[in-house]
Amino acid sequence: MKVLLIGSGGREHALAAALIQDPSLTELHVAPGNPGIEAIALCHVIDIDDNLAVLHLAKELEIELVVIGPEKPLVNGLADLLRGAGIACFGPSAAAAQLEGSKDFAKKVMSDAGVPTAKSFTCNTRDEIEAALDTFGAPYVVKHDGLAAGKGVVVTDDRNFAIEHALQSSQVVIEEFLDGPEVSLFGISDGRHVIPMQPAQDFKRAYDGELGPNTGGMGAYSPLPWAPSDLIEQTLAQVLNPTIQEMAARGTPFVGLLYAGLAITNKGTKVIEFNARFGDPESQVLLPRLKTPLAQLLFRAATGALIEGEELEWSDESAVTVVLASAGYPTAPVLGEPILGVDPIEGSFVYQAGTNRRDGILRSAGGRVLAVTGMGSDLTEARNRAYRTISAITLRGSHYRSDIALNAAVAEQGN
């Protein structure tokens, strides 16, 4: 099978690394890719926000399956165009991608499907905003309605700051604060059936101890030894299945990866957000653990051929990913710095995220530069491998968190 993967981040590097393990794959093409992906696939530098350019490339290469990594091309309708041209595509239509593209839309779908989530108000005026904030009280949760590349959500005790953030968008969702550990759980769907993956936990804050600003994700681990044993089953029954059925009933079936961001509260598991694509950096811990051949799985999802109740096959190993971020990330990342010492020890991988190569030298080209994954028989061993590899890398001014999966590893040792 000839596959074209769209994207250029750490998630796509992990997707590419998993796709090439599948014996049914004959050629892997990536647009635009990055220097890390270039080492394992054929990269094509095109503008992935130009749907026609992607369609043209897919036709020229006689691609049998397109896998779309990032959200923007999905919201832009790339999957619609490709499917319309008869090319199988793993990724939802523009209409279905609104589950990520509009917080208000996601809330309406959850309400109609009976999916547990935070109570919320959608607000368009200052009066509505203030009334909603005062209904829930602090901590205030304010979300811009549209895609905001991770910058749309503010959680704060400062009422004035909450109002100010809300007024920056013409429509916001203000919701009740959900207290409890966060879990990311993904479902792979063909529009009618949905197969759950294993859960992962993402670390969104920039600095150790959950301090600093929100980021795209500074690290992740999987599996979660502390999670309730019925988490997957419950999420499938209460979140993934009802959402997929609701989207189908609306005439806009969701084909692709449904990302459920969950909070495990003392009143049960509730949805914090949906995304319409693989998570980053969750993919960098999930995909190295997945044994089911990925290209075939995504092709079956893209062509409506998943089987009710089928299960994925997983390695028993644990995985921990630590993200190396540029100086100044997330506020004002410094780019163009040379990266030295990328030399993964056994049992670890370095996925490139924001990199390029200039004058033969690998350089930083984004806020999140590398995602280093360690594998091991438990989280402690996986952490040790990830941290040994990342600590040998030199990138001026860069930073990474030292506490990824730490609490879970300590708790696991205690059991």
Nearer CB in complex with ligand AMP: 1/142: 142
Residue closer to ligand AMP by CB (options 43, 183) is 183
Of 117 and 252, nearer to ligand AMP (C-beta) is 117
Among 55, 142, 178, 390, binds ligand AMP (CB under 6 A): 178
- Interaction pattern, residues 261-280, with ligand GLY; x per rule: CB under 6 A: --------------x---xx
CA distance 263 to 257: 19
- In the complex, least distance from residue 273 CB atom to ligand GLY, rounded to whole angstroms: 8
d(CA 370, CA 395): 10
Q: For the window 252-281, what string marks contact with ligand AMP as x by the rule CB under 6 A? A: ---------x----------xx--------
With tokens 């993956």, the residue in question is 197
The identity of residue 379, as a single letter, is L
**Binding positions for ligand GLY, 173-212, rule CB under 6 A:** 202
Report the first-to-last Cα separation within the chain, whole angstroms: 44
- In sequence order, the 6+-apart residues with CB closer than 8 A to the CB of 394 are 339, 340, 341
Q: Which is nearer to ligand AMP, 1 or 257 (CB)?
A: 257
337 in contact with ligand GLY (CB under 6 A): no
Q: Per residue, what are the HEC states of 324-357? A: EECCCCCCCCCCCCECECCCCCCCEEEEECCEEE
Residue closer to ligand AMP, measured from CB, 261 or 328? 261
Residue 204 near ligand AMP by CB under 6 A: yes
User: Considering CB distances under 5 to 8 angstroms, the limit depending on partner class, which of ligand AMP, ligand GLY, none binds residue 282?
Assistant: ligand GLY
Note whether 217 binds ligand GLY by CB under 6 A: yes
Which residue in the set 118, 369, 386, 409 belongs to the binding site for ligand AMP (CB under 6 A)? 118
Residues making up the chain, counted from first to last = 415
Residue 153, interface with ligand AMP (CB under 6 A)? yes
Would you give the binding string for ligand AMP spanning residues 78-117, x where CB under 6 A is met? Answer: ----------------------------------------
Would you say 31 or 183 has its CB closer to ligand AMP? 183
Instruction: Round to whole Å and give the CA distance between 173 and 392.
Output: 43
Does residue 12 touch ligand GLY according to CB under 6 A? no
CA distance 15 to 5: 8
172 part of the interface to ligand AMP, by CB under 6 A: no
Q: Which long-range contacts (CB under 8 A, 24 or more apart) does 45-48 make?
A: 48/6, 48/7, 48/8, 48/73, 48/78
Q: 148 in the Ramachandran plot: left (φ > 0), alpha (ψ -120 to 50) or beta?
A: alpha
For residue 393, the minimal CB distance to ligand GLY (Å) is 21
* Residue 272 interacting entry, from ligand AMP, ligand GLY, none, C-beta within 5 to 8 Å by type: ligand AMP
The answer to whether the CB of 199 falls within 8 A of the CB of 271 is no
332 CB-contact burial (10 Å; exposed 0-12 / middle 13-18 / buried 19+): exposed
Reported as type and span, the H/E element at residue 182 is: strand 182-190
Q: Are 136 and 177 in contact (CB under 8 A)?
A: yes
219 binds ligand GLY (CB under 6 A): no
Residue numbers at the binding site for ligand GLY (CB under 6 A): 202, 217, 275, 279-280, 282
Residue numbers at the binding site for ligand AMP (CB under 6 A): 118, 141, 143, 153, 155, 175, 177-178, 182, 204, 214, 261, 272-273
